[in-house]
Structure 1
Amino acid sequence: MQTLAGTRLAQLFNERKSELLGEWAAQQYAITSRRGGVPEAQLRNQFAQYVDLVCAALGSSEQVDFNTATWDEVRTFLAEVSEQRARQGFTPVETAMFVFSLKAPLFARLRAQLASDPAALADLTWTISVLFDGMGLYTTEVFQSTREQVIVRQQQELLELSTPVVQLWDSILALPLIGTLDSARTQVVMESLLQKIVETGAAIAIIDITGVPTVDTLVAQHLLKTVAAARLMGADCIISGIRPQIAQTIVHLGVNLQNVITKATLADAFIVALKRTGKSVMGAAAATEAPGTPGPLRGDPFAGD
């Protein structure tokens, strides 16, 4: 019985292809217009490919079963459409309507053709329902998987953008942190910092937490792990941005930062870093007044001893 239903369905597609395209396209235009539109030529081309693949699958098997290997090419095509629409901002329902938009036109023509044969009408209606529901659900699954991949990629890109490692001076790096520091982000922070240490041969890394809203035990542990990893690469760390509230929290939590240099501001940490690397910043005026005998500018906060 399924073979007969598949043959009739393929025949219906072939005989009424233009009519089905017109009604299907009208529904698709209404959907795609809300998302900036899809060119008419592209929609027509997609419809033609879809119908040709479905008819080929219907004619290649005695069973109308979307889950069999016969329908591999249809699944591949629907996956491409779903992935494309996921990236274009369509919703899962709008994507599934690529398939479901054909059900109403098909049922209308079946009722007209098989009005005198209710048994055949019922059989073919059931076959179409099962087949198209399977295809529609498949587009939704692919859509959700694609969106999850996009979200994960965007999160990774945001993590990388939110953890820039900059070189403040020769052998001195700075890593300003903004937002919550969780396990995933800590891993990105470590990788970015360690890679930069390798590239520059830096001896000092300043981790600035001015933009971190709260510091709890977990955040403190993440910071200590980053410091330990940097030390293994031969670089000492200074943590700056220790506000009064954060200092009180760290003390209350009993977090041991005795082996880590901490400063209230990035500027204070930079001064310490310059001194530890044996460098100083000298004003241009001082260098001009005493050429050949450079000395620190009076009152210059970056001046070395």
Structure 2
Amino acid sequence: MSGEIPPPMSGTCSCFLIGHMYIFGGYDDMGQTNQLYRVNLLDGDYRWKNVKAESGSPPSPRDKLCCWVVNNRVTYFGGYGHKTLDDIMDDKSFVVDTASLEQNVGWGWNNEVHVFDTTLASWREPQSSGRAPAPRAAHAGATLGHKGYVYGGRVLETAPSDIHCLDLESWTWSEIVPTSTVPGGRSWHSLTALSDNTLFLFGGLNVDCKPMSDRWVLDVDTKTWREFDHPNNNKPRLWHTASQAKDSDVVVFGGSCDYVLLGGTYESLTGHSNDALVFQTQPYPLFRICVDCIAKNVNNFKMLQNQLPSLPRKLLEAVQRRTSRII
């Protein structure tokens, strides 16, 4: 990669919009940052640019936040960062971490909402209504339609298990009160959109700093959580990423399988993961089942290889794509 390459950071917030990946905030050698970068992932050049706003002011420096993408706008929520003590005086959107106070600077958690318009290159802080979530960081967010959802996170020594929704057109907050058993509170988990009305929750770190491997699906219409068994129960993850794939699969990649940061220092690096976990969230269509079956066995049975040309064209092309990746 070339251009204005971002420094090595943790706790950044990323999203994909119109061919570009945007990253905002994070923690580098100088502390939290409020810089915004983007890179075109489709032109083959992979040149980074430090995006400067033409109007408005960016949020204060922060990391461990989330974002939602709607209509060429990126809406950022929450995070952990620092402000001057004058700026946080009587500020109900900011909870001060008293263990991190300095002479004129305070660190803490916030529940602020900031919007970056990629078309106008402008920042703004919309006025929202309704009951906003408490300030937090290390939470997870997902977008369904024109609504942004946020679950869990951490503030002080607590890890709430609440889920909130922000209408990204009317800027109205609402809390979803589940009608069923709810997942335990956590931070550093992932929340992924599955359909127009369902969200997928996986992993994270509970309030006792124990890595988790449970998976849940929330129906936002009926307000019900459902927990599912899966073959990866012995593979907890935190600090990972998750994305929806074909046929409503969810692919989890990276992160750590244990809490490597203990007592403020890295006690172990053995927990970092570079494998991908694939979660099936619904029955596969017959076409997918056929492709999977043929692709897994085509090299083991000569009879299948001889019969491949007889397959319907669409099925044959799908099998050829799968087998070429396997080879």
Common fold, TM-score beyond 0.5?
A: no
Higher strand share: 2
Q: Which has the larger radius of gyration?
A: 1
Greater RCO, 1 or 2 (C-alpha within 8 Å, sep 6+): 1
TM-score by length of 2: 0.23
